[in-house]
A and B are shown apart, each in its own frame.
Chain A
Amino acid sequence: MSDHQHDHDHDHHFPTPESYGLLDRLVNTLVRKGIVSMTELEQTRVETEKGNPQHGAKMVVKAWLDPDYKNLLLRDGVAAAEAIGHSMVGAPPLGVLENTPEIHHMIVCTLCSCYPRKLLGYPPDWYKSSAYRARAVRNPRSLLDEWGIKLQPQTEIRVVDSTADYRWMVLPMRPSGTENLSEEELVKLVTRDCLVGAGLPDSKVD
């Protein structure tokens, strides 16, 4: 048993006070030297914050409703995102993995925190946590149990470690009993966590 366990089995959620000043000094230095500009930083941030789990949810629902779009989504995630009007310029390839009654996918990046940011926005804290990165490839079922997610007995869990150039998203199964829901209502069922395998879409809109 590591003697580090007491020190770091939980992550630090907040930067130290010193880091705020350090960031300011770094930015000011780089601006002063003409290496970056404040405008570039602000515009980049605006662009980044166009990423949102809603885009992923819309793509999932479109795939539920349109078999041709589903084929595109599974073949070329970037093209599928662009097809719904979301720019993926500069983004790495996007792989989409389909959940079936036999397979439930769970996405992780054990080495850092690779996540489809261009599409979905900032990754959640839990996804970046040391605990998730350590446990997901070791015992994924213990995580699903902890989260109260019940899979069918025949469902295998497939953990996907994002170690290289692809970013990964899950195409969850459409829940039963949703035949009468509109496309908009269906989109509300697909949460951010569903898109990385940490949730299953509900069958009812709240």
Chain B
Amino acid sequence: MNLQVPVTAPLFKPGDMVRIPLVWPEQKGPCHIRTPAYIRGHSAQIICHFGAFPNPEELAFGKPAQLIHLYHVAVSLSDLWDDDAKQDASLLIEIYEHWLEKLSP
């Protein structure tokens, strides 16, 4: 694990509403992304901050990996899948900070 830049303070705190952008780095060339397609373009709520971990997108290519803040975010399955029948279920998923944008309150 090589650190390129010392990690800065986390951008988000529990309770913040965030959005995972609808972007497709896969279309630009070989990559390794740990943000599943099904969550992209959706809003979620920050549940907790785990600390900072080396970016798997860089580790996957043997590159020096920057530390990126990692969060647990939550979204209801009804919001995710837009079904007519509401599911009494939710999702918790680990997302790295560079895949999160703050939603205006």
Contact = CB atoms under 8 A, between A and B. Distances in A.
Interface of A: 93, 97, 110-111, 137-141, 155-166
A164 B72 CA distance: 10
A165 B70 contact: yes
Contact of B94 (A97, A157, A164): A164
Interface string B81-105: 1000001111111111000000000
Contacts of B50: 93, 164-166
Given A111-B34, A137-B38, A161 B88 contact: no
B96 A164 contact: yes
Nearest to B53: A165
A144 to B, nearest CB: 10
A65 B10 CA distance: 37
A158 B92 contact: yes
> For the complex, would chain A's binding face be called helix, strand, loop or mixed by DSSP majority?
loop
B96 A156 contact: no
A163 B92 contact: no
B92 A141 contact: no
A160 B56 CA distance: 19
B36 interface: yes
B89 A157 contact: yes
Given A139-B87, A158-B91, A163 B36 contact: yes
> Which 8 pairs show the lowest CB-CB distances between chains A and B?
A164-B94, A157-B89, A161-B93, A165-B53, A160-B92, A163-B94, A163-B34, A159-B91
Contacts of A140: 77, 89
B95 A163 contact: yes
A150 to B, nearest CB: 14
Nearest to A166: B94
Given A110-B36, A137-B77, A138-B81, A161 B53 contact: no
Contact of A156 (B38, B53, B89): B89
B34 A164 contact: yes
A62 to B, nearest CB: 24
B91 A137 contact: yes
Contact of B89 (A93, A97, A141): A141
Nearest to B94: A164
30 contacts: A97-B92, A111-B34, A111-B36, A137-B77, A138-B77, A139-B77, A140-B77, A141-B87, A155-B88, A156-B89, A157-B89, A157-B90, A158-B89, A159-B89, A160-B92, A160-B93, A161-B91, A163-B35, A163-B36, A163-B94, A163-B95, A164-B34, A164-B50, A164-B53, A164-B95, A164-B96, A165-B53, A165-B70, A165-B94, A166-B94
